[in-house]
Structure 1
Amino acid sequence: MTAYSILDLVPVVDGGTVPQALANAAALAAHAESLGFTRFWVAEHHGMKGIASAATSVVIGHIAAATKTIRVGAGGIMLPNHAPLVIAEQFGTLDALHPGRIDLGLGRAPSSDQRVAHAIRRTLDSDPNAFVRDVVELQSYFADDGRTGISATPGAGADVQLYILGSSLYGAQVAALLGLPYAFASHFAPQMLDEALHVYRSSFKPSAVLDKPHVMAAMNIIAADSDEEAEYLASSIQQSFVGLRTGNPRQMQPPVEGYKASLPPHIVSMLDELLSCSAIGSLDTVKRGVAKFIDRTQADEIIVACSMFDHEKRERSLSLTAQTFNSL
């Protein structure tokens, strides 16, 4: 059976607060744990009013403390924003507090606009080879193999599972070269999904941590008791994508009846492309969509994005999603 997990952006809804968003994330993770989801990831994003997971390692600690068995981690940490030693210390601390449950997905995207990226990094000068070097340096801290001349405390000997994230061929090549599992962000950037998975699998080099390719693929799943209700609930994430792509990101908006039909054709086309790796509908509709996506990707694991305005409806969606995977 294909494993199933969750990617949560810890959404701040219109009229809501960051404390409420963080409380909802912890409750959602506990609910997901009860349903048999494998892992619960949060992502590093900065300068966005509708996302409360910027301090990603802190949020992971909060979620891990609210759960007992589900793996918790980053999907991901944008490594160019950080010194590898600092990330080793942060995730080494998380592993010490919650042993055997911490994942660390690594990406190289800025996770922000240029102005915010400059505020984080102070300089945007970069070496195209720095990401690979930083991943290897991070591995060295966890392995405590002496190659850096520094023993990370905490961090040395930590049992943190590393993943390479990507939405292009670059991440696939890095994951294959280093023999690490690969997670593709097809929930918002599906264009190169098939080619990237081919590159990863065909170029994969076994490593000490992984003897064969391991693919995670992301998809949006919004499930409800009817197709009509799910389409209505999906209008919140559609509004978020439109706002982001038109330079007007906001807190997550309440659903709007007939929202997509009200948009001009070029925006509808943009949404259809961005959300092409999605299953939105009743249990039967979602089951067909998930089965088709698994058949397409042959993924070892599906990581589910499920952003909604209403927390209870979101929990219901995850319950139906778990039923879907358990019935395949």
Structure 2
Amino acid sequence: MSLALSVLDLATVAPGQTARDSFANSVELARAAERTGYRRVWYAEHHNMESIASSATSVLIGHVAEHTASIRLGAGGIMLPNHSPLVIAEQFGTLETLFPGRIDLGVGRAPGSDQKTMYALRRDNASADRFPQDVVELQGYLTGNSKVAGVSAVPRAEGVVPLYVLGSSLFGAQLAAQLGLPYAFASHFAPDALHEAVAVYRERFRPSEQLAEPYVMAAVNVFAAADRDAAHAQRATAYRERTRRMIQRGPTRAEFTDAEIDAFLASPQGHQLASMTKYTAVGTPAEIRTYLTDFADSIGADELITAHHATAIADRLASLELTATALDLASEPIAGQPIPMC
């Protein structure tokens, strides 16, 4: 069987574009993923970021679901400390009712925002500490086994909304193992603890009603193009723009040339930022296939979540399609299918 691949769509708002453009691009990406054999497309909750339009994650999932037919769609993830578990259960119960057999729910404990935005979200500093209890409460609502007497999530879908734990540290790995849930590691921007976290998850995993054996997903950045130089140029452009966005936050918006950005990323001050994208596949389809299979083998991943970051939507679509071809996704009947026992 070919390695299972999925897509993480950050609903990026490219320079000169609008959020409406971003949503149209998300529909096109999901349709391409459905057509070429990807297992699922996930959207991440971010707030107060002008370049990312997926803040109302469940709304975006519903919009894309209306414009696709079979591929699984979900959150990768909902930042649960920002929300009531009951509200999230209601949202995803509604989505599963409208689009049966197609909805996933991944949850994480990061704020997906800065300190001021946390306050604006009415999120207190202790809310992340309740993450394990909130996951259990959410799971109860989704399965009709509410932990709060007299309270149920309405609507609760007839089908299953599979729950996933997202993380970038040992904490999420331990919780996913304890609850017997699939574990997705955010190695596309937080690579350091990947191997240790996966090892801990597998070692401590306890079977559950949802999952009999450990299921590991890992995120990886991808720039695939027919021409190697074009792929590397797309990578350079995307990561320069990403760096500009991160260092230009605040009232002062200084302009930086490409040479200045490159010099910063090569400096000791920029090393940490540059190292966040350690796991990046870039090149021709043959190079992408080698990188992704080696990366998956290094941790025994069951599924890779690919994030295609090229600035232009045409280049992102090409990257997604070339990667699918390189990994022979079309030969495997996996699109729209949940993982075992989910």
- In structure 2, the CA distance between the partners of 1:137 and 1:240, relative to structure 1 (3 Å rule), is farther
Partner of 1:169: 170
* C-alpha contact 1:232 1:258 (8 A) present in aligned 2: no
Amino acid at match of 1:80: P
The answer to whether 1:307 aligns with 2:309 is: yes
Map of 1:149-298 to 2, 5 A cutoff? Answer: 149-155=150-156, 157-243=158-244, 245-246=246-247, 248=249, 260=262, 263-266=265-268, 269-298=271-300
Residue 73 (structure 1) aligns with: 74
* Aligned mates of 1:131, 1:301 — CA distance in 2: 25
Identity %: 47
* Residue-by-residue CA offset, 1:263-288 (whole Å, 9 max, x unaligned): 54336633542111110111122122
Q: Deviations over 1:140-198 (max 9, x none)?
A: 11111243221211126552111000000000000000000000000000000000000
SS of alignment partner, residue 121 of structure 2: helix
Q: Equivalent residue of 2:327, what SS? A: helix
Higher relative contact order (CA 8 A, sep 6+): 2
TM-superposition CA deviations, 1:221-248 (whole Å, max 9, x none): 1101122111111124312442355353
Are the structure 2 counterparts of residues 163 and 240 from structure 1 closer, same or farther at C-alpha, using a change threshold of 3 Å?
farther
- Please give the secondary structure, in 2, of the residue aligned with 1:40: strand
What residue identity is the alignment partner of 1:131? F
In structure 2, what is the Cα distance between the partners aligned to 1:48 and 1:19?
A: 15
Give the alignment's TM-score, normalised by structure 2.
0.89
Q: Count residues in correspondence.
A: 323
Distance 1:169 1:237 in 2: 29
Contact 2:33 2:320 in 1 (8 A): yes
User: 2:177, 2:202 within 8 Å by CA — same for their partners in 1?
Assistant: yes
Task: Give the gaps of 5 or more residues in structure 2.
Answer: 330-342
Task: Give the aligned partner of residue 115 of structure 1.
Answer: 116
For residue 333 of structure 2, what is the aligned residue in structure 1? none
Check whether the contact 2:244–2:261 (CA below 8 A) recurs between aligned residues: no
Q: Which amino acid aligns with 2:23?
A: L
Name the SS of the counterpart of 1:121 in structure 2.
coil
Distance 1:258 1:223 in 2: 26
Deviation readout 1:94-143 (Å, 9 max, x if unpaired): 00100010000000001000000110025333362x11111111111111
Q: Which residue of structure 2 lines up, in the alignment, with residue 125 of structure 1?
A: 126
Once the two structures are TM-superposed, the CA of residue 326 in structure 1 deviates from its matched residue by 1.4
Q: Which structure 1 segments of 5+ residues have no match?
A: none
The aligned runs of 1:33-44 (5 Å cut-off) are 33-44=34-45
- Secondary structure at the aligned position of 1:41 is classed as strand
Q: Deviations over 1:7-51 (max 9, x none)?
A: 010000111001010011011100110000000000000000000
Kindly indicate whether residue 138 of structure 2 is the aligned counterpart of residue 138 of structure 1.
Answer: yes
1:117 and 1:172 map into 2 onto residues whose CA distance is 24
| Counterpart Cα distance in 1 of 2:264 and 2:123 | 42
Are the counterparts in 2 of residues 57 and 90 from structure 1 also a CA contact under 8 Å? yes
Partner AA of 1:278 in structure 2: T
